[in-house]
């Protein structure tokens, strides 16, 4: 089972960025615990701050991976190009948000990319990534 985690803009700063919202650990640290928790899953992690690079990665992995866990950061709320990329690929995508987007500013209440995801997890912290892996395993 091959599962990729793709994180979008500013998520390279997890641990440093607004820790009261996103927590105190970096994604690299969290990724280590995730790999330990799922030794039989081939987990890949990729992050970019650039919309087109995220689309290139979705296209590259989206015809061979079993699942993609995608956090598009702020692109979530306005990127039709990412939404189209999720529709174009074969691999199912679970969208994850660390914070509860519905408890925050109004512009975060709408997910453009989420419309083409199989589901969306929001507000459960880093645990959302773990739950998304479990979803793919049990599917």
Which are the catalytic amino acids?
Answer: 22, 97
Least Cα distance to 133 among 49, 56, 44 occurs for 44
- Answer yes or no whether residue 10 interacts with ligand DQA by CB under 6 A: yes
Q: How far is the CB of 71 from ligand DQA (least distance, A)?
A: 5
Residue 27, Cβ density class (10 Å: 0-12 exposed, 13-18 middle, ≥19 buried): buried
Question: CB 95 → ligand DQA: shortest distance, Å?
Answer: 9
Residue 47 β-bridge partners: 7
Find how far residue 49's CA is from the centre of its chain: 13
Contacting range for ligand DQA; rule: CB under 6 A; set: 51-59, 79-87, 97-105, 130-138: 97-105
CB of 98 vs ligand DQA, minimal distance in Å: 4
Of all helices (H) and strands (E), which one includes residue 68? strand 67-71
- With CB under 6 A as the contact rule, the residue among 3, 27, 65, 73 that binds ligand DQA is 73
**Contact predicate 55/82, CB 8 Å:** yes
The total of other beta-carbon atoms located within 10 Å of residue 117's CB is 22
Does position 76 bind ligand DQA by CB under 6 A? yes
Q: How many residues bind ligand DQA (CB under 6 A)?
A: 10
Count CB neighbours of 126 within 10 A. 18
Per CB under 6 A, does 103 bind ligand DQA?
A: no
Selected range binding ligand DQA among 48-56, 59-67, 82-90, 92-100, rule: CB under 6 A: 92-100
Under the criterion CB under 6 A, does residue 74 sit at the interface with ligand DQA? yes
């Amino acid at each position: 089972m091959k599962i990729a985690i793709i994180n979008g803009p500013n998520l390279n700063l997890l641990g440093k960025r607004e820790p009261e919202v996103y927590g105190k650990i970096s994604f690299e640290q969290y990724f280590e615990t995730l790999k330990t928790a799922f030794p039989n899953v081939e987990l890949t992690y990729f992050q970019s701050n650039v919309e087109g690079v995220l689309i290139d990665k979705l296209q590259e992995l989206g015809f061979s991976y079993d699942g993609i866990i995608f956090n598009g950061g702020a692109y979530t709320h306005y990127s039709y190009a990412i939404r189209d990329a999720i529709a174009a690929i074969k691999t199912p995508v679970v969208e994850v948000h660390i914070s509860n987007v519905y408890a925050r500013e109004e512009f975060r209440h709408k997910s453009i990319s989420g419309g083409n995801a199989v589901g969306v997890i929001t507000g459960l912290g880093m645990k959302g990534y773990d739950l998304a892996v479990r979803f793919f395993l049990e599917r």
